[in-house]
């Protein structure tokens, strides 16, 4: 197997043995892995002083090795983190997108490996794409993914600020007595760019850079605290990003679409005992992190195949054989009907294999402005990519013999656990009309429509998306965003029409079925919802939200055993799925209302508490906990729950009124008066004259 320059590429097993030959001098250091979502290297001042100062991360770079040309294999969060934590590419583990793919439990993860070596393992992640339901929690003693159940906007992921993630990590680290492996993931640089003060004011014209400055400050807290605890001397720290951000380069606003360096070039810093400060110019990649950390920790490599090689030789100033780097961007292929994009970085060049191929000389054109493909014989590059894909596409289920799997077989097996994504519409062949560059105007139209919606120009955005689903009938996200826009305006029939059309034209698109089922549940169309959700779960069965929605259908139809079964499936798939616990609690309370069995009331209380524990911002669960606590004869606990419900949602009129009543019963007239007045304000014209008279009477009792 040769590259286009004729260099021999070592078999993966041999690479693994070579990487494991050298062992680091310091045995069993603590390991800190930091991944910053959506961060370009030029937003760290150790890479470029142009945009922002990042003193905390710069200090780490000064203590260790900075890799000038580190590459992600994928421009998308879940897939990139799978590459890092498994040390393999998507051709092996099958994860190429967010939300609809799961890392199967047959793989060796970094956390599993370090746990088997006696390390305590903890992970603290910042946003939904890394939710435990997607399988990266394997091997972690603690996997803290306690971000809110609902995102701030329908168009973005649920996330939590870096300061919250860092605080949770520090709390866990403070409890460790032995050696530990800790992964900290912060999501803030991801869109929408909205840094807190003072960074919002300091970077008013460049909020993306403001997010980088904020993250640097929060990671500075983490580094400083570890230094104060005396843990820095025996600590290996790896800092990288999962991918970058285009910011308009090549016509791409964010990431996940193309495979240019604006989204695949990432920072990579490694510091630790025995690591001399320096810079490495050679191209390296995410799959190299796992074997590197093993060598720095003095651990043998796992028996399972790793597809990277230790970077310790390069960090030590020694020569190392250059290896090709596989890249892909498949989200649009999997979900929007586009041609797949795969490529290879080797010998200072990048070849992108697509219907309109691209070739760039990265030594002279790292920004990829001049495509050399039209004037180049591409046969050697295509052969090199095919050889690389063949070497990386290994079936982990065949045991020691491990045979390559051809791409067609791999994609047919994408519903079988280890490769869990189904391509919505596979074509026999793809032409220039399917190329991402040709398709870019459709993508840009969707992004413009979303931005218009965020700006309050709803009708204009809806018009663009209506055009889009006519022009590109297999463009799944357009149907979903359009239906959400209609629902937001109360146009339920239009929302249902759009998704009904979407699933009819795209019968293998799980996202469309799931979105359709959700709307049908919200509009109480129980029988149709059950039908559509059943079709969704036939495509992908490990989505807790689909099971939860199906449970709601049966709960509303008073089939409580079936409802509990489906809610149980939801929380079984994702232990941090708060709506599942909350809905189970509602079922138990309804059962208690019929049979008055104390155990059902107890179960209702237990499940509401579980819901609020995993999502303290979940108003509905706090409200329910107040109701069941009062029913159980615990008014003080009810008051505490309703106070948290109102804090989570100040517009919660039910909890507001309930608090007023309980305060009044206690004789606390001042807070009761405040609650009743607030209730009148919240209800406003919706109150009937009789209701207003009753509330006014309560107000009079408070004076």
Residue 258 binned pLDDT confidence (cut-offs 50, 70, 90): very high
Sort residue 578 into left (φ over 0), alpha (ψ -120 to 50) or beta: alpha
Q: State residue 336's pLDDT score.
A: 82
Q: Of 527, 505, 506, 502, give the one whose Cα is nearest residue 516.
A: 502
In order of 605, 634, 672, the CA distances from 626 in angstroms are: 9, 9, 16
In order of 34, 215, 317, 485, the CA distances from 161 in angstroms are: 15, 9, 38, 27
Of residues 420 and 607, more confidently modeled: 607
Q: State residue 425's pLDDT score.
A: 60
Q: State residue 273's pLDDT score.
A: 93
Tell me if 424 is assigned to some domain: no
Q: Of 630, 678, 687, 685, give the one whose Cα is nearest residue 656.
A: 678
Tell me if 466 is assigned to some domain: no
Rounded Cα gap, residues 46 and 43, in angstroms: 9
Residue 486 binned pLDDT confidence (cut-offs 50, 70, 90): very high
DSSP, res 398:
G
Q: Of 209, 254, 220, give the one whose Cα is nearest residue 44.
A: 209
Q: State residue 113's pLDDT score.
A: 97
Dihedral (C-alpha) 92, 572, 290, 309: value to the nearest 10 degrees? -10
Coil, strand or helix at 421: coil
H helix intervals, 174-288: 199-202, 207-228, 261-264
In order of 449, 579, 615, the CA distances from 648 in angstroms are: 30, 15, 10
Per the DSSP assignment, residues forming a β-bridge with 321 are none
Q: How many CA atoms lie within 13 A of 35 on its CB side?
A: 27
Residue 453 binned pLDDT confidence (cut-offs 50, 70, 90): confident
Coil, strand or helix at 270: strand
Rounded Cα gap, residues 332 and 441, in angstroms: 13
Residue 407 binned pLDDT confidence (cut-offs 50, 70, 90): very low
Helices (H) and strands (E) in the chain, counts: 29, 13
Residue 417 has pLDDT above 70, yes or no: no
Written as one string, the DSSP assignment of 663-686 is HHHHT-HHHHHHHHHHHHHHHGGG
Tell me if 617 is assigned to some domain: no
Asked if omega into 198 is within 30° of 0 (cis), the reply is: yes
568 CA to centre of own chain: 23
Q: State residue 150's pLDDT score.
A: 66
Tell me if 371 is assigned to some domain: yes
Share of the chain above pLDDT 90, in %: 73
Residue 553 · residue 523 · CB < 8 Å: no
587 CA to centre of own chain: 30
pTM given for the model:
0.82
Q: State residue 151's pLDDT score.
A: 59
State the burial class of residue 532 (Cβ atoms within 10 Å of its Cβ: 0-12, 13-18, 19+): buried
pLDDT by residue (tens digit) across 88-125?
999 998 888 887 778 888 889 999 999 999 999 999 99
DSSP, res 80:
H
pLDDT by residue (tens digit) across 623-653?
999 999 999 999 999 999 999 999 999 999 9
Query: Whose structure tokens read 């695949």?
Result: 264
Rounded Cα gap, residues 403 and 493, in angstroms: 51
H helix intervals, 22-159: 55-63, 77-86, 90-93, 110-116
Write down the mean pLDDT value for the chain: 88
Of residues 68 and 96, more confidently modeled: 68
Tell me if 533 is assigned to some domain: no
Residue 16 has pLDDT above 60, yes or no: no
Residue 261 · residue 249 · CB < 8 Å: no
Query: Whose structure tokens read 């208690």?
Result: 592
Q: State residue 399's pLDDT score.
A: 30
Residue 701 · residue 663 · CB < 8 Å: no
Residue 598 binned pLDDT confidence (cut-offs 50, 70, 90): very high
Query: Whose structure tokens read 């939590």?
Result: 160
Residue 368 has pLDDT above 60, yes or no: yes
Sort residue 456 into left (φ over 0), alpha (ψ -120 to 50) or beta: left
Residue 521 · residue 552 · CB < 8 Å: yes
Q: State residue 541's pLDDT score.
A: 87
The sign of the torsion formed by the CA atoms of 594, 599, 605, 610 equals: negative
Tell me if 203 is assigned to some domain: yes
Coil, strand or helix at 271: strand
The CATH number linked to 206 is: 3.40.720.10
Tell me if 450 is assigned to some domain: no
Rounded Cα gap, residues 677 and 672, in angstroms: 9
Residue 19 has pLDDT above 80, yes or no: no
Residue 415 has pLDDT above 50, yes or no: no
Coil, strand or helix at 285: strand
Q: What is the CA radius of gyration of the chain?
A: 27
Share of the chain above pLDDT 70, in %: 90
Coil, strand or helix at 228: helix
How many domains would you assign to the chain? 1
Q: Which of 12-21, 89-98, 209-218, 611-620 has the lowest mean pLDDT?
A: 12-21
- Cβ neighbors of 538 (< 8 A, separation 6 or more) are none
Q: Which of 18-32, 397-411, 561-575, 630-644 has the lowest mean pLDDT?
A: 397-411
- Kind plus residue range of the DSSP H or E element containing 412: helix 407-412
Domain that holds residue 145: 12-398
Q: What is the mean pLDDT of residues 154-181?
A: 89
Q: Which of 273-282, 345-354, 400-409, 663-672 has the lowest mean pLDDT?
A: 400-409
Coil, strand or helix at 274: coil
Q: State residue 122's pLDDT score.
A: 98
Q: State residue 156's pLDDT score.
A: 64
Q: What is the mean pLDDT of residues 52-78?
A: 97
Q: What is the mean pLDDT of residues 342-369?
A: 97
Q: Which of 402-406, 484-488, 566-570, 612-616 has the highest mean pLDDT?
A: 566-570
Query: Whose structure tokens read 């989204």?
Result: 263
Q: What is the mean pLDDT of residues 562-580?
A: 93
Asked if omega into 192 is within 30° of 0 (cis), the reply is: yes
Tell me if 421 is assigned to some domain: no
Estimate the crossing angle of helix 653-666 against helix 635-648, to 10 degrees: 140
Q: State residue 562's pLDDT score.
A: 97
Residue 330 · residue 338 · CB < 8 Å: no
Q: What is the mean pLDDT of residues 396-410?
A: 33
Q: State residue 394's pLDDT score.
A: 62
């Amino acid at each position: 197997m040769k590259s286009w320059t004729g260099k021999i590429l070592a078999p993966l097993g041999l690479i693994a043995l070579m990487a494991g030959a050298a062992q680091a001098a310091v045995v069993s250091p603590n390991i800190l892995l930091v991944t910053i979502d959506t961060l370009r290297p030029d937003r760290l001042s150790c890479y470029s002083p142009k945009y922002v100062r990042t003193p905390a991360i710069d200090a780490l770079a000064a203590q260790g090795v900075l890799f000038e040309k580190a590459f992600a294999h994928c421009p998308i969060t879940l897939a990139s983190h799978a590459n890092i934590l498994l040390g393999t590419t998507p051709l092996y583990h099958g994860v190429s997108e967010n939300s609809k793919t799961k890392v199967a439990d047959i793989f060796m993860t970094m956390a599993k490996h370090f746990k088997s070596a006696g390390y305590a393992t903890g992970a603290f992640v910042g946003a939904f794409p890394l939710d435990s339901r997607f399988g990266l929690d394997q091997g972690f003693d603690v996997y803290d993914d306690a971000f809110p159940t609902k995102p701030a906007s329908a168009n973005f992921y649920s996330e939590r600020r870096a300061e919250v993630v860092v605080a949770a990590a520090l709390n866990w680290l403070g409890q460790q007595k032995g050696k530990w492996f800790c992964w900290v993931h912060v999501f803030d640089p991801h869109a929408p760019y909205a840094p807190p003060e003072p960074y919002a004011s300091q970077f008013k014209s460049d909020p993306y850079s403001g997010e980088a400055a904020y993250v640097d400050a929060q990671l500075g807290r983490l580094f400083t605290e570890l230094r104060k605890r005396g843990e820095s001397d025996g600590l290996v720290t790896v800092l990288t990003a999962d991918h970058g951000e285009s910011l308009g380069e090549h016509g791409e606003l964010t990431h996940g679409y193309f495979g240019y360096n604006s989204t695949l070039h990432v920072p990579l810093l490694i510091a630790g005992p025995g690591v001399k400060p320096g810079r490495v110019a050679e191209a390296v990649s995410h799959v190299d992190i796992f074997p590197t950390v093993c060598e720095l920790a003095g651990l043998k490599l796992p028996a399972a195949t790793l597809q990277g090689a230790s970077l310790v030789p390069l960090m030590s100033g020694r020569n190392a054989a250059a290896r090709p780097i596989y890249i892909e961007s498949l989200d649009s292929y999997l979900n929007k009907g586009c041609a797949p994009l795969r490529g290879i970085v080797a010998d200072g060049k990048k070849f992108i294999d697509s219907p309109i191929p691209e070739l760039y000389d990265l030594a002279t054109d790292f920004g990829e402005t001049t495509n050399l493909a039209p004037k180049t014989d591409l046969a050697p590059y295509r052969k090199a990519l095919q050889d690389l894909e063949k070497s990386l596409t290994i079936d982990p289920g065949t045991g020691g013999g491990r045979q390559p799997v051809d791409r067609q077989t791999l994609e047919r097996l994408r519903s079988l656990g280890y490769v869990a994504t189904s391509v919505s519409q596979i074509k026999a062949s793809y032409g220039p009309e399917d190329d991402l560059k040709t398709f870019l105007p459709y993508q840009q139209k969707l992004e413009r429509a979303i931005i218009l919606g965020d700006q309050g120009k709803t009708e204009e955005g809806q018009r663009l998306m209506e055009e889009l689903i006519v022009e590109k009938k297999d463009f799944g996200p357009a149907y979903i965003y359009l239906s959400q826009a209609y629902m937001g305006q109360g146009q339920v029939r239009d929302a249902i029409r759009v998704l009904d059309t979407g699933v009819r034209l795209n019968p293998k698109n799980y996202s469309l079925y799931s979105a359709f089922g959700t709307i049908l549940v919200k509009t109480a169309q129980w029988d149709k919802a059950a039908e559509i959700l059943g079709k969704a779960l036939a495509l992908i069965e490990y989505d807790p939200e689909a099971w939860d929605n199906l449970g709601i259908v049966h709960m509303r139809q008073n089939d409580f055993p079936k409802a509990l079964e489906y809610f149980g499936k939801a929380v079984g798939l994702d232990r941090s799925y708060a709506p599942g616990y909350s809905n189970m609690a509602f079922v138990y309370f309804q059962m208690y209302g019929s049979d008055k069995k104390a155990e059902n009331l107890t179960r209702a209380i237990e499940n509401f508490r579980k819901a609020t524990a995993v999502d303290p911002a979940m108003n509905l669960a706090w409200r329910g906990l107040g109701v069941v606590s009062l029913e159980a004869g615990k008014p003080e606990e009810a008051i505490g729950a309703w106070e948290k419900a109102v804090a989570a949602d100040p517009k919660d009129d039910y909890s507001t009124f309930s608090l007023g009543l309980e305060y009044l019963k206690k004789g606390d007239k001042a807070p009761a008066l405040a609650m009743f007045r607030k209730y009148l304000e919240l209800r406003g014209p919706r109150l009937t004259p009789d209701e207003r008279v009753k509330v006014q009477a309560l107000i009079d009792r408070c004076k």
